[in-house]
Every structure is written in C-alpha cells, then in structure tokens.
Structure 1
Amino acid sequence: MRAFCLLCFFLLVCSTGYTQDIQNTLAKADDFYQANPQEKMYLHLDKYAYTAGETIWFKAYTTIGIHNFFSNLSGIANVELISPSEEIVAAIKIPLISGLGIGDLLLSDTIVEGSYRLRAYSNWMRNYDDAYFYDRTIQISNGRLDNVLTTTSVVSEEKDHIYSIALKSMAGTPLVKTSIRYEVMNEGESVDKGRTTSDEKGVATIKVNKKHQMPIIKLRFENMEKMNITKLIKARIPQQDNNLQVFPEGGKLLANAINNIGIKAIQPNGLGIKAKLVVLTGADTVVSVETNELGMGASSLFVRENDVLKAFAEFSDGSKIEVPFPAAEKSGYSLLVNNLNPSKVYAQLNASPDLIDQKDMYFVVQHLGQIYFVSKQKLTKNELVYAVDKAKLPTGVVTISILNDRFVPVVERAFFSYKPESVLPVELKLDKASYATREKVEVKLNVGTQGDSIRYAALSAAVVDLSKIKDDYAVAPNILSTLFLSSDLKGFIENPGYYFSNDVKTTDLDFLMLTQGWRSLDWKSLGIVDTPRFEPEKSLKISGYTRKLGRKAVEPNASVQLISTKNFMDYVDTLSSEEGYFEFDQLLFPDSVKFLVSAKNEKGKNNIDIEINTPEMPLISANRNAALERSDINSFYKDEINNSKQFFAELERKGLMERAIAIEEVVVRAKKKRAAENSSNLNGSGNADQIISAEDLSTCASLEMCLAGRLMGVTFMGGIPYNTRGNVPMQVVLDGMYIEADQLSMVNVADVESIEVLRNINYTSIYGSYGGNGLLIITSKTGASAMRSFTPKGLVTIQPQGIHVNRTFYKPAYDVTDEGQLNRDFRTTIHWDPSLVADKDGQTSFQFFTSDGKGKYLMVIEGIDLGGRVGRKTIEFDVK
C-alpha cells in the first residue's frame, strides 16, 4: 500500500523540489497508519432493554481498520456494565479468536433500575480516545426485588429545582407516608442528604440547588414488601428553549465567497427536532434552511465582506429563537464538498485574495494516515476544484485534507464514502410463512454471491417477540452503523441505525458529517515515534515486583512461582529482573480462580515482599449518549416487567431459576444488633443486610464455628464464606483492610465487635469490583487489627480477573417429551445463536421453537465475512 501510494503521487507531481518533501510527509502518514492500526468493536445483543433476572447475551465482533477485516491484534475483550451513577457494576473478560468472542452478563435481582452503559474495548483501543470504545446505553428495569413505579416531574424556583417523585406499587397503589432517605450526588460527590416522607398520594418532594448542573438523586426506602429499595433519579434541569447550532463547512465562513453551512437543531433533552433557519441581512433573506426529522440540514450561501447577518430559527413545536451566526472572515480558506454525485466526490477550495501565492496546494483523501488519493494544484486563483473517483475509496468515514506548500492542513472535512460491494449480501429463508405457538422454525441462510471466491462468514442470530418489545429496532445501533460510522465519529449520534435502514441515506449522512466531530489525524505529530502505552492483550498476565522485606528497595533475581490453588502441582516459575520486575504471561484461566505467588531471594530465603501490579482501569467519562438516559424506567417498561414475572415464575416452578427474594433478605435490620461505630463499612456503620454483634460471638471458639449456619445467604466451604447467590467466594474486610477469605481462621473471636454482611447491590456497589460477590465487614473492638501476629513472608494470595465462563442460553425443544418443559412460555428472547458459520458456499442453518406468545416475531442476523464485508438482515414473521 505504501509503495502504491508513493508511486501514484510521483506520477501526479511534477515539481521535483517538492516531490521528495510531500513523499516524506505521506510516508510518515503511512508509518503512522502501520504503527497505529485502528481496532473497532461491536457487540450484537439479543435485545436492547432488559429487566432484573435476565441475561444480556452478546457476541463481540472486533475488526481492524476501515476495511473491517477480522482483527488478530487482540486476544482479550473487556466488557463492562456501568450504572447510572457511573460505577462499574459488572466487568468480564472474554477471549477473542480471530476477532470473535461470546459472552453474557447476568442481571442480579437487586440491580437498581436505570439507564446503564454497556462498554467494550480491547487493551490496544485504550491508546486512543475512549470516545471510540463501543459504548451503548441500555435500559434496565427491576420487577424482582424493586416492584416500585416512579413518576418524576420538576419545576424551577428562584434558587432550587423542586423534584416531585410519585411512588406506586406495581398494582398502582401509592406508597403513602413512606420514610425516604435521599442523597444528591454531583460529579461523583455527595452535595446534600436528608430525609423526607411521601404524602398521602405517595409523592416525595426534594429540593436541589440550581448550582448543581446534572445531579443524581439517590433514594432509599422500603417498599410494601418491606424490602430495602434504592432508586437513582437522573436529574434533568428544566430548560425552556430549543437550540440550533451553525457549522460552516471547513470551520469558518469566508467573505466574498460561496460557503456551505450545516445546521443542527436540538431539544433540551439532547434529541433532534425539526426546524427552519432563516438568515437575513437587513430585510433581505440570504438563505433559508430546513432540517430533516433529526434536526440536521445544510445549504450554501454567499456572504459579502460587510454583511451584517442575523439568523432566526423556528422549531416544529412552534417556538422561535434568534441564533448566533458566525462572522465572515476576510482572510482564510473555506471548503465546499459535493458527495451526492454517484461516481465522484468534488471539493472546492475557496481562498481569500491575500492568500493567492501561486504555491502548491495538495488535496489528500485519507483515513488515519492511510492515503487513498493525492492531487495538487497551484493556488493561482481564489477557487480550486478537486475530484476523486468513489471507486478508489473504502466504505466509511474518510477525510479530505487540503495541505499547503509546507504540508500543513489549512482545512479538513470528513465525509461518508459508500461502496455497495462492502456490504455482505444476506439471504434468509424460513420454511413457512407463519407458525403456530411452540412450533419449530427452520431457517436457512445464504451469504455472498455466486461470483465470490470465498464465502466463509461468522454470523449471529437473535429472535425476539415484538409484542414484548418497546424499542425501535430500525433506528437502534447495529453492526453497520457501528463499524462503518460510529467508530470514527465523536459525540452522540441519534438513531444511528436510521442511516442504514432499507438503503444508505446519503444526504442525511452528509448532514451528519457536517455537524459531527470525527476521528482525525494529527499531521503535526507525524514522524514522532511514540511507543503505545497499552500493548495488544493476547492473553492474561500477572506481574509485579519483588522487594526487600519491609523496604521499598527491589530484590533482584528472585525466584518467583505462580501456583494454582486448584492444583498445587500446577505452577510456573520465573526470575525477577534487576529492577525486581517479574511477569507471568500467556495465561488463560477462568474467573474466580486463586493463585499463590511465592518468592525467594538468590540465597533461597523467603525474606521478600511481593508487590502485585493492579491493572489500571480506564476512566469512566461522561456518557456520550446521555440523551438516551431515562428516569422512571420501571414505569416505562411496566408491561415488560409483568411479562417477565410470569416467565420467571414458571422457571422457578421448574427449578430453572432461584426465587427472586429469599426470606433472609427480609430479616436484615434487627434493631437490637448494632454495628461498631468505627466500622469501615463504606455505606456507613450498620447499613448492611445482616449484623452479627460481639454478644452473638461470645460463646464461640472460632469465627467459622460461630458464623456457619448463622449468616443468611452465606455458606462456608473449607473455612471460606460463599455467597449462595452464584456460589461465589465473598470478600472479607478487616478493619478497612482487604484480606483473603481463608484468613478468617486467624481472627481472634474475642477481639471482634461486629460483623456486617453485605449482599444486596445497594450496599455492595460502592465497593466496585471488590463487592461483586458480597462482603463481610469485620470490625475489632479496638479498631486495631484483630489478626494474630502472623504475616507470611515471600507469599501472597491473589485472585486476578480471569476469563468469563459463559452460560448456556435456554432453548426449549417442544418436539420431544420432556418433564422439564414449561407450562407457560412467555420468553422475550426466543432464540440466540452467536456461533453461526457460513461454509464455502455461503450457507448455514439453524432452528428454534416459538413460545406461547402470539403476534409478530423479529429475526436479526448480523455478521462479517473473511473479506471484511459487513452484513445485516432482519425479517418479521407471524405466530398465530
């Protein structure tokens, strides 16, 4: 590719004086492209909204570059679920094989309703802006533990915003005279807290100071079943006016020239609104522009040097505002791009008279340094026109860069290039036109065309009952919109699927390009060698340092062993470096596995401190899709909650699912048992599911003997406490220090003042990843450590995050006799198959059974072939 680009340019450029320089510039751009391959990630979800107790099923597609070939760069994908309060409540690692991975996230019964973010990325992607991570907002309701509907309204007073929150049961009964604790969070900090009581209509009123721009209101109260409930209300500041922004193409308006402008009209909630913009000079109309339904539009206008422009917008809701209009510049450049021609892209560069210097201007079409076309003209007049054949360009967001004779961009503009042959043809055939309930559906897939030499493709299929879905699949993010569009654009894209539904919306895409930030190349940094901070993660790694006992000085050349606690004969060893650094690489192990790391110095002594490196997690930046965030999720998805209740009840009856609320979760706040005042509980002393006091421990010889059978929802195996929800080991915190669960036997019972059990997500979420499996908070009577004076030397126990172990999607088979069959089948996701592979002829097939739901079903097929063609196919069919 590099040689081809430079050869093409050599043929185009005649001036030998500048040929070598521009070749050097393009070679540096190509070096940047080779050293910084763009990795992109997309998750195909089984559906787009969920409720507590369900599982988010997904398949990860990871591609490299704008041509979307399967990526072999990374071997691990990180997938995170981020709460409305911007905390990671679930995080897993899944293996990627040739860019493909499969995973799932189980939503606990105690998850707080709200707008969550599903974020996915590779370690390599962290070298660049997290704006290009896969980041999707999904709505999660809760009818398992919660069962409370909220309706939130807000009015503005002089100093405060007054929030009125109506609380009702699922049956519509108001929660009257309910005591509510509230806390107002702003930018991650608590700025106000207090108590209030709902009135006779179940309405709670809370004041929030206006100085807090985007606060979160956290409510805690008991529902009618006396369960402790947490609600997160994403506060919306009342605003009266819509807004309209003007974007000159290329960045500025140039006086005495034709300019192109893009406009974007948005509502206070961040969503687009149809509008009309009129630009006037005196009483004369310079231009009138109307937007599409998403609030975007464009038009050209001629601006004279001394024109005084005023602009006014009228929105479809009848409101009107005056719009700030950018001033025309007397000196500079502007750009006009025409991407609507079917075969060519035209670009016109306008220059002010003072810049016409007879020097070369270079027209470059590129994507992150990968050059697709170069042309040059001398700046002998105020208008230069360039053209490029679309056949030379890939599908995706590419950039026009106009460089001056010093090879510095004077103006740039992104546009969307589309080639139909980059989309994978997908043909889908059902064996019948319609089906009965619980009937087998047989599906045949055919991808590619007869002329394709290779038709192998990786695909995934999801089938949902549309009667149980509120979301509009036609405009939601999909594999086409993500890999072709969103992966290269910054900011919020409303209804991204719209641009690829039925056909590619070329005109609307051009409006989007005019009004959206894009992923650009920093020309000034070309040639600067910068080692990426984050390497591609091929496998799991455990690393750290060996230090002299009790000192910060390193212990070089120490013998270090990594031993699996599952099999003590299974170990690997290495030597630490002169800097004390050691590393165990090329590891693959499942989540929740513990290891021992032991070390000895060159003399064979274990007088060594071992320091294990903690992986640095990427920061959680503001949600770019904040316009999609909601409050009152339970109320919006009430029908879906009621449907899921019926389905879960059937699964519980068949023993396929645990009951939502175990009896122990009711008896969690006995008043006579008080936690130690100096408790390290981050929720505050006593805020726990269960409290064990010193009095309860007075007759016990050991902690395990005291606690076994007494802690509700906790069992002991080998001296280690396990959370019965998931049968996973719990984290133990002793006087604020995280210790290994198997060290409980070293705690002196007589020194313990209280033990607090945290299992509910309302209490565990504040601990982040440490709280995923629940915690035991132990507080000693003195506040000092209750541990016996024993610290092992040269030995540490670790539990690093491993590879997620996938669950199995439930698929009933109604053509065989099975005692486990459901009496009532009200599934929302009817079928999920992430492992479809089209053979050399482009063919594959699958089958599934319909449920008891009648009406329209939707099937979504997505995938990529070995040539990087991206495909998507949807079909609706009837179940009668």
Structure 2
Amino acid sequence: MRAFFLLFSFLVFFSTGYTQDIQKTLEKADDFYQSNPQEKMYLHLDKYAYTAGETIWFKAYTTIGIHNFFSNLSGIANVELISPSEEIVAAIKIPLISGLGIGDFVLNDTIVEGSYRIRAYTNWMRNYDDAHFYDRTIQISNGRLDNVLTTTSVTSSEKDNIYAINLKSLAGNALSKTSIRYEVINEGKVVDRGRTTSDEAGLATIKVDKKYKDPLLKLRFENMEKINVTKLIKGIAPQQNNHLQIFPEGGKLLANAVNNIGIKAIQPNGLGIKAKLVVLAGVDTIVSVETNDLGMGASSIFINEDMVLNAFAEFADGSKQEVPVPSIEKSGYSLLVNNLNPSKVYAQLNISPDLVDQKEMYFVVQHLGQVYFVSKQKLTKNELVFAVDKDKLPTGVVTISILNDQFIPVVERAFFSYKPENILPMEITLNKESYVNREKVDVHLNVGTQGDSIRFAALSASVVDLSKIKDEYAVAPNILSTLLLSSDLKGFIENPGYYFNDEVNATDLEFLMLTQGWRSMDWKDLEIATTHKFEPEKTLKISGYTRKLGRKAAEPKASVQLISTKNFMDFIDTLSSEDGYFEFDELLFPDSVKFLVSAKNEKGKNNIDIEINTAENPTLSANRNAALERSDINDFYKDEINNSKQFFGELERNGLMERAIAIEEVVVRAKKKRAAENSSNLNGSGNADQIISAEDLSTCATLEMCLAGRLMGVTFMNGIPHNTRGNVPMQVVLDGMYIEADQIAMINVADVESVEVLRNVNYTAIYGSYGGNGLLIITSKTGASAMRSFTPKGLVTIQPQGIHVNRTFYRPVYDVSDETKFNRDLRTTIHWEPSLVANKDGQTSFEFFTSDGKGKYLMVIEGIDLGGRIGRKAIEFEVK
C-alpha cells in the first residue's frame, strides 16, 4: 500500500483546487519512489588492514529503501579491488540470496603496497550516482616479495615539488646506490619519467612539476634480494593552508532574520581539524563558534541587511585565516531545524517581507519520494513554524522539503531521524571472562527482545587480535554508519563509526548534516517517465548477435547453442531475433568456466559470425575517501608485516600456503623488440614477464616441445600450460582470440612470431577474470590465425565472468589431534563466521580457539533481522 495515502486525512480542510494539486504532486513523488527503489550495500570485512599473502574475507548485506529490508531485487553483486593507481586488480561476482552474499579476495605475493579501495554494487545501483556505491579504502602492505620500507617527505622549490624518498629493508638497512626507474602519473596518464639513484643512506630525490595537482609516483627498483619491486607514492601537497567553510542552513543567509550556520574546518589532507570561527560586524563580535574534533560546529546568528560581515578562523595548530562569508540576501527564505527535541522535529521558515503574499506553503518530510508527513500554512507572517512527531519517521537520513504554491521546493534540508526501536538489540555471552592461549571460546548470541514477533536475523562475526591492529576500529565504517548514513550522503565522511559508537551521537550528527551533501530527487523531473538503463541482475546472462559471414548485416533466426567445455553434452539452445540478437539467461556458473557458442543459419550452415556482448563496467570515479589514502604503507605496518611473515612460515611448513615465488621482471634492452609488433598483448607488445621469439622456436618440431621447460613458472601437463603458482591452467590467447589451452598442439610452430608469458599481476590485471591464472600471448607471423587448417566459422570460445567460488576460512582446532598444529600461532584474524542465523527465539552460537597472541581480542558481530532492524556489537576480551 502506498504510504502517502495515509497522510491525506489532514487535508480535508484544504480548498479543493489546492488539495487536488498537492495530491497530484505527492502521487508523482510516490510514483518516483515506487519505480526507483533504493538498493544499498554493506560489506562486513574481517579486519581493517591487510598484507600480501592474506585473504580479505567479507559478508555482503544488500537492503532496499530506508527501512533496510533484505533486498530481493538483485541476485548478483559485483565486488572490486581497486589499486592506488585506479586500476581494478580483482573483480568478482557473488550470488545474493535474499540480499546476502559471501566472498573473498586473496592478496597475491606481488601486490603493490598502498591504499586500495573495495567497491561493491549491484547492476541496479548503476542507474544512479556511483557516489552511493559501497566504497571503502583499506591499507595493504607487502612483506612477501617487497620487503622494502619507504618514508617520504616533500619540499618545494619555485617550479617543482621535490620528493625525498628513503629506502631501507625490513631489517633497517639502507638500500644504497640503488637504481630507480620512475614515472609521474597525473589524471591516469604518464606525464614524466626518468631514472635516479639512491645515495649511501638510501635517499632518492625526484622532482615533480607543481602544475600536476594530484600526482602519483611509480617507482621500480631491485630490493636486497634482487627482486623487482614496484612502489606507488601518493602526491603530497606541501605548505598548504587549512580551510574553513560556512554553510547557511537551507543554503542562504537571509537579512533581518535569525540564521543557522554550520562550519567545517579541514586540513590540506582532507581530514578535519578543531577550529574556532569569529564573525564580526565592524568591531563587534556577533557570533563565535567552536568546532568538535572533526572540525564541525554550528550556531545561530541574527543578521541585519546593512551589516558588513568579516570572519576569521583560528585552527588547533595555531594558524589563522580570513574566511569568506556568504552573501546576505534581502529576498528569499531561510530555514532553522531543531532535531534535538526528544519527541518532535521543529522547522522554522523565515521569509523576507516581499514574499509574504498569503499563498500556501507546504511542509513535506520525505525520503526519495516516500512521504511521511505533510502539512501546510499560509504566508501571513515572516516566520512559519512546522513540527512533526518523530514516531512518524523512520531511522535514517530524511529530507524536509518546503514547497511553494506551485509545488516547487524553495528550501530543503536533510536531517538524521533516529528511533531506538529500529536498532536490533544484541547480547553476547562468553563462557569465560578471560582465556589462555589456544583455548576454546564458546559464544552465545541473543538478538531482539522477548516482545518481538520476529527474531530471525542474518549475522556475521569476526574476531581479531587487537595487539596486531593499528587502526581505530571504533571509528571505522560499520553496518550502522553505512546503511543508515553513508548510503544517503555525498562525499567523504571522516570516522563514520564515531556517530554510532555504542549510542547515536545526535549533536555531532546535526553538525554533519549541516555541512554534507545528501542524496535527493529532482522535483522538476517527476513528470518525466522513468527509464532505467540497467535492470536488476537476477542471474548471469550471455548474449550477442549473429551476423552474416564477413558482414555487419544481421543473420536472423539463427540456431544458437551454448556448450559447456566441461561437458560437451551439456548445452542449451535458442534462436536469434530478426536483428540477430540472442540471449541465454538464468545462468549460474563458476568463474573460469569456458563455453563454446555455435550458430547455424536457417539452412543449417555455419557461415555465420558470432558477436558476443561484453559487460560495460562502471567508470572509476575519484576516490571520495581520498583523505584516507597513504604512502609508505609498509613502514606504517612493519610490525604487522613481521608478524605475518612468521605466521606464513608456519602455514608453509604445514603445507597450507605456497612459498613466496619471485617473478622475474624481464627488461628488454635490445633496440629491436623480441615480441611481435602486432602482438595482441593488452599491456603493449613486449610488456611481459618472459618473451620467446621466433628465433628461439626455430629448432623445435612442435610448439609444446619448444615451450616445455623454457617458460619460467610454467609447466605442461597433458599438453596444457599450468602456472606453478597454484598449479592452475593458464589462458592462451592466439592473435587476440581466446582459445582452449590444449589447442596449442594444433599451432604450426613455423607460423609463430612470438610467445609472451604474463604471470605478474602488473600484466595480468588488465585481463580481469581471464588473467587470474596467467596467460600465454601467442602472435603469428602474419597476425592472422596460425592454426593449421583451423578456421572456425559459426563457433567462438568465450570465458565470461562467472560466480566467485568461495574459499574456506582455516580454523585450527586445538582440543583434538591435528597434524597441522602450528609451532607458533600468530594469526591476526582469529575467527571469521559469515553465516550466522538467529532462530525464531533470537538465539545462535559459535566457537573458536584463541591463538598464541596475548592481550585484548576484539569480537565484532553485525547483522539485520527480517524487520529491517540493523544491529552491531563490539566487545573486547582478554587472553592471558
């Protein structure tokens, strides 16, 4: 039932004309809400920072609307790991069952240290601003193959910013006289490159032109183990000033009225700083405002139209500056909202005298078109006061819209509505108050209350050793801050968990709402019929077009088959449409599965070209959390790296993890490239870990015979090349066409110009899911197919991105005999439990063992019940 119909009883006293018009406007708003459901996503991560060799474990929660019911709109979620250089280094699809999904990312040994982003979204969410995707910045260090610490500082000359980068090993030894190749990247393009050498103390300097406002430095050099290392150094702007901005509530400072102002003070790095603002009219102080520790504050101020205002800020670091004051408007509206009353929200609309015209004004409280309250008053005086009971409102970001008699908003203001009953109560009981090393912990969880009719809930739990966590977990993003706040606000929110730490921080939330943009709808566009480019993705789909051979013209009514290469007897078929379009939908298959698509025309001939549609990925916008990006990650997390190296040694000893394998970077110094100029290598011809030229192949009878034993990190099993890292089959690309690996035997060795081996993530990342196991790029001498008498028509091989296959979290059990017991158990993530379900009585439980770490452990449990109530509980316990 549409919620707004419940609101119209108060309108019975309206004049008939106005009643009908406001009803039509609200009906349009509700139509907008119904056709544009807001889908939101949150990922519960097992911890807050990672290192190479570890796995990022996560649980996805997808909800619909401000009431946060589990979403059944989408069945697939896209989750991406984005590098500091704004490249997607890993992308997976996970199934969503009633809005819930589980996934993981393995961080390979070659991953470059830095500030990474985890971005998650559904296909439906792509219809709207990507500012509302789940997007979180995490720090990843590397002590597997990197083993180099950097510390960076910046000074400024007249023309350049000069970066001083100190290089040393994990043991603290300087990387002296080290040759470094570097590139300066700005707005995704290489704008400068060169070489430098570190001095005896391991210090290298690089000049960067000041015209590049947000540069990224990419360094390449050898560490002490002669392993090639890549470093990314985030641009640092030296000697910049703090900044303070004034935000009038409702958008304007109105003359001869009381105005509310919010203020926000930030440092050059984008983080808040405590400050004090003084506003003067001549020599008289008319308001003085102090911010909280996050740099936000608010106050009211009365302004006369003849006032000349000047403002000055003093920051916690002692610096001072003059602050621009918004212009004073003699005509217009201003708004004052009081959200701190326990039972009501009050809003006072101030109106300039020229606009007091006896016409109607409408007070609407809504969320993206879902209306919760409406009232109206006539413009009979300079001040109108509206009020709404808080028990009529949901918990989350809602908007006050003041509409004029033409039903156009003259002022809007978002505020955070909070009702304690919308938060899911949680009670955690442990079997003991404290524990010793390698002792079992029994956890009992009780959610909801005895009076609840529904107590089923989906939950996830993580346990970490706090002594190995450097980040402030209490202020990190959590399920409450994401689904209730961040999903409706635009821009960077510093320390989002701060607003929901044990209790809702109402005062500071008001400061945030006064200074932050929010998600809104355009009232003018309500007349426009809503169309959506991206439909909800329930399952996987493979689609394309059948074309007449060698032409663009459609081949209609072609018989198309989709055949799994795992079982050639397993296939489905369909007919293409008049324009040649065909589609196989309602598919679910794991990632890395290959298919054959075959087609025949109405005469049963295969003289057809098949064109497969490829997924259009959303663009990568600038990181809204850029203030959290860091350089020198290894130095900051060096203790964590040393702990992880010891733990990885235990895993390797027990056969639970492969030893780190150095992938040699091949630098081609010859004047002529050994790789074919017409190579289809997406990194560019010759950009590979290893290159085999036609000259190298000249003495071999078969291609497999030539390659076996010559390729570093590649072995052949039954004619199929396997990457020794994981012993997994590699993808083979012949002249830009993805082929089956066993078809190498069909390639005439005399026709091959070059073979390029891609195993390093720097080269494989560009291939997305195709590059997960490494690739062999084979280029023929003519650039055409080198297949001996193999010219397929009406047949293509494809490897679409499938569903991610989840890994299993390893859980040592110390109360039974176990051959894989650790000599030293130095885990950081002690336990990960993504699939907890509370029963009808709100009960569930789990167990785990402590490690060898002593001190405080942190347990975080998050989840949602069937009524849309969100819950989070974080407790600490001690291991002695």
TM interval, shorter chain, is over 0.9
Amino-acid identity (%): 84
For residues 753 and 328 of structure 2, what CA distance do their matches in structure 1 show? Answer: 73
1:245-284 superposed matches below 5 A:
245-284=245-284
2:172 corresponds to: 172
Do the aligned residues in 2 keep the contact of 1:124 with 1:534 (CA within 8 Å)? yes
**Displacement of 1:822 after TM fit?**
1.1
**Displacement of 1:716 after TM fit?**
3.0
1:92 corresponds to: 92
1:203 corresponds to: 203
1:755 corresponds to: 755
**Displacement of 1:184 after TM fit?**
0.7
- The structure-2 alpha-carbon separation of the partners of 1:262 and 1:671, relative to structure 1 and needing over 3 Å to count, comes to closer
2:617 corresponds to: 617
1:504-550 deviations in Å (ceiling 9; x for gaps): 10000000000000000111111321221111111000001111111
1:200-239 superposed matches below 5 A:
200-239=200-239
1:706 corresponds to: 706
- The structure-2 alpha-carbon separation of the partners of 1:12 and 1:41, relative to structure 1 and needing over 3 Å to count, comes to farther
Q: Does 1:823 align with 2:814?
A: no
1:478 corresponds to: 478
Q: Which amino acid aligns with 1:678?
A: E
Do the aligned residues in 2 keep the contact of 1:363 with 1:386 (CA within 8 Å)? yes
Q: Which amino acid aligns with 1:675?
A: R
1:587 corresponds to: 587
2:46 corresponds to: 46
For residues 176 and 117 of structure 1, what CA distance do their matches in structure 2 show? Answer: 33
- The structure-2 alpha-carbon separation of the partners of 1:210 and 1:13, relative to structure 1 and needing over 3 Å to count, comes to farther
1:463-542 superposed matches below 5 A:
463-542=463-542
For residues 324 and 169 of structure 1, what CA distance do their matches in structure 2 show? Answer: 48
**Displacement of 1:756 after TM fit?**
2.4
* TM score, norm. by length of structure 2: 0.97
- The structure-2 alpha-carbon separation of the partners of 1:753 and 1:677, relative to structure 1 and needing over 3 Å to count, comes to closer
**Displacement of 1:686 after TM fit?**
4.6
SS of residue paired to 2:473 = coil
**Displacement of 1:722 after TM fit?**
2.7
- The structure-2 alpha-carbon separation of the partners of 1:4 and 1:783, relative to structure 1 and needing over 3 Å to count, comes to closer
1:773-784 superposed matches below 5 A:
773-781=773-781
1:105 corresponds to: 105
Do the aligned residues in 2 keep the contact of 1:731 with 1:776 (CA within 8 Å)? yes
**Displacement of 1:706 after TM fit?**
1.5
For residues 753 and 585 of structure 2, what CA distance do their matches in structure 1 show? Answer: 43
For residues 659 and 458 of structure 1, what CA distance do their matches in structure 2 show? Answer: 37
For residues 702 and 786 of structure 2, what CA distance do their matches in structure 1 show? Answer: 13
1:664-701 deviations in Å (ceiling 9; x for gaps): x3585698997236264555655432232333322212
Do the aligned residues in 2 keep the contact of 1:89 with 1:769 (CA within 8 Å)? no
2:59 corresponds to: 59
Of 263-272 and 154-163, more deviation after overlay is shown by: 154-163
Q: Which amino acid aligns with 1:595?
A: F
- The structure-2 alpha-carbon separation of the partners of 1:402 and 1:4, relative to structure 1 and needing over 3 Å to count, comes to closer
For residues 421 and 805 of structure 2, what CA distance do their matches in structure 1 show? Answer: 37
1:21-45 deviations in Å (ceiling 9; x for gaps): 1000001111111111100000000
For residues 357 and 671 of structure 1, what CA distance do their matches in structure 2 show? Answer: 81
**Displacement of 1:761 after TM fit?**
1.7
1:420-478 deviations in Å (ceiling 9; x for gaps): 00000000000000000000000000000000111110110100000000011100000
2:407 corresponds to: 407
Q: Does 1:834 align with 2:834?
A: yes
Do the aligned residues in 2 keep the contact of 1:9 with 1:23 (CA within 8 Å)? no
Do the aligned residues in 1 keep the contact of 2:180 with 2:195 (CA within 8 Å)? yes
For residues 174 and 751 of structure 1, what CA distance do their matches in structure 2 show? Answer: 49
1:159 corresponds to: 159
1:700-745 deviations in Å (ceiling 9; x for gaps): 1221221123222223345432323234443334456655544433
- The structure-2 alpha-carbon separation of the partners of 1:329 and 1:135, relative to structure 1 and needing over 3 Å to count, comes to same
**Displacement of 1:323 after TM fit?**
0.4
User: Gaps spanning 5+ residues in structure 2: where?
Assistant: none
**Displacement of 1:239 after TM fit?**
3.5
User: Gaps spanning 5+ residues in structure 1: where?
Assistant: none
For residues 824 and 7 of structure 1, what CA distance do their matches in structure 2 show? Answer: 64
Q: Which amino acid aligns with 2:39?
A: E
Do the aligned residues in 1 keep the contact of 2:675 with 2:756 (CA within 8 Å)? no
- The structure-2 alpha-carbon separation of the partners of 1:667 and 1:8, relative to structure 1 and needing over 3 Å to count, comes to closer
For residues 619 and 413 of structure 1, what CA distance do their matches in structure 2 show? Answer: 30
SS of residue paired to 1:541 = strand
Do the aligned residues in 1 keep the contact of 2:738 with 2:797 (CA within 8 Å)? no
For residues 400 and 409 of structure 2, what CA distance do their matches in structure 1 show? Answer: 10
SS of residue paired to 1:258 = strand
Q: Does 1:145 align with 2:145?
A: yes
2:315 corresponds to: 315
For residues 185 and 700 of structure 1, what CA distance do their matches in structure 2 show? Answer: 43
For residues 722 and 878 of structure 1, what CA distance do their matches in structure 2 show? Answer: 46
Of 652-661 and 6-15, more deviation after overlay is shown by: 6-15
1:543 corresponds to: 543
Do the aligned residues in 1 keep the contact of 2:74 with 2:99 (CA within 8 Å)? yes
- The structure-2 alpha-carbon separation of the partners of 1:821 and 1:334, relative to structure 1 and needing over 3 Å to count, comes to same
- The structure-2 alpha-carbon separation of the partners of 1:677 and 1:95, relative to structure 1 and needing over 3 Å to count, comes to closer
Of 361-370 and 239-248, more deviation after overlay is shown by: 239-248
Q: Which amino acid aligns with 2:58?
A: F
Do the aligned residues in 2 keep the contact of 1:33 with 1:368 (CA within 8 Å)? yes
SS of residue paired to 2:474 = coil
1:723 corresponds to: 723
SS of residue paired to 2:335 = strand
1:263-283 deviations in Å (ceiling 9; x for gaps): 000000000000000000110
2:444 corresponds to: 444
1:630 corresponds to: 630
SS of residue paired to 1:125 = helix
For residues 524 and 466 of structure 2, what CA distance do their matches in structure 1 show? Answer: 51
Q: Does 1:333 align with 2:340?
A: no
For residues 679 and 234 of structure 1, what CA distance do their matches in structure 2 show? Answer: 35
Give the number of aligned pairs.
878
Do the aligned residues in 1 keep the contact of 2:4 with 2:30 (CA within 8 Å)? no
Do the aligned residues in 2 keep the contact of 1:181 with 1:196 (CA within 8 Å)? yes
Q: Which amino acid aligns with 2:129?
A: D
Do the aligned residues in 2 keep the contact of 1:364 with 1:375 (CA within 8 Å)? yes
For residues 352 and 63 of structure 1, what CA distance do their matches in structure 2 show? Answer: 43
For residues 260 and 788 of structure 2, what CA distance do their matches in structure 1 show? Answer: 76
For residues 670 and 493 of structure 1, what CA distance do their matches in structure 2 show? Answer: 46
Task: Please give the root-mean-square deviation of Cα atoms over the aligned residues, in Å.
Answer: 1.7
1:357-390 deviations in Å (ceiling 9; x for gaps): 1000000000000000000000111110000000
SS of residue paired to 1:77 = strand
For residues 570 and 685 of structure 2, what CA distance do their matches in structure 1 show? Answer: 42
Q: Which amino acid aligns with 2:51?
A: T
1:656 corresponds to: 656
For residues 144 and 673 of structure 2, what CA distance do their matches in structure 1 show? Answer: 29
**Displacement of 1:114 after TM fit?**
0.4
For residues 768 and 803 of structure 2, what CA distance do their matches in structure 1 show? Answer: 18
Do the aligned residues in 2 keep the contact of 1:80 with 1:120 (CA within 8 Å)? yes
Do the aligned residues in 2 keep the contact of 1:2 with 1:27 (CA within 8 Å)? no
For residues 615 and 669 of structure 1, what CA distance do their matches in structure 2 show? Answer: 34
Do the aligned residues in 2 keep the contact of 1:44 with 1:58 (CA within 8 Å)? yes
SS of residue paired to 1:525 = helix
2:795 corresponds to: 795
Do the aligned residues in 1 keep the contact of 2:89 with 2:766 (CA within 8 Å)? no
1:374-389 superposed matches below 5 A:
374-389=374-389
2:394 corresponds to: 394
1:356 corresponds to: 356
1:420 corresponds to: 420
1:776-796 deviations in Å (ceiling 9; x for gaps): 233445666645464211111
2:554 corresponds to: 554
**Displacement of 1:157 after TM fit?**
1.0
Do the aligned residues in 2 keep the contact of 1:752 with 1:786 (CA within 8 Å)? yes
Do the aligned residues in 2 keep the contact of 1:143 with 1:645 (CA within 8 Å)? yes
For residues 576 and 621 of structure 1, what CA distance do their matches in structure 2 show? Answer: 37
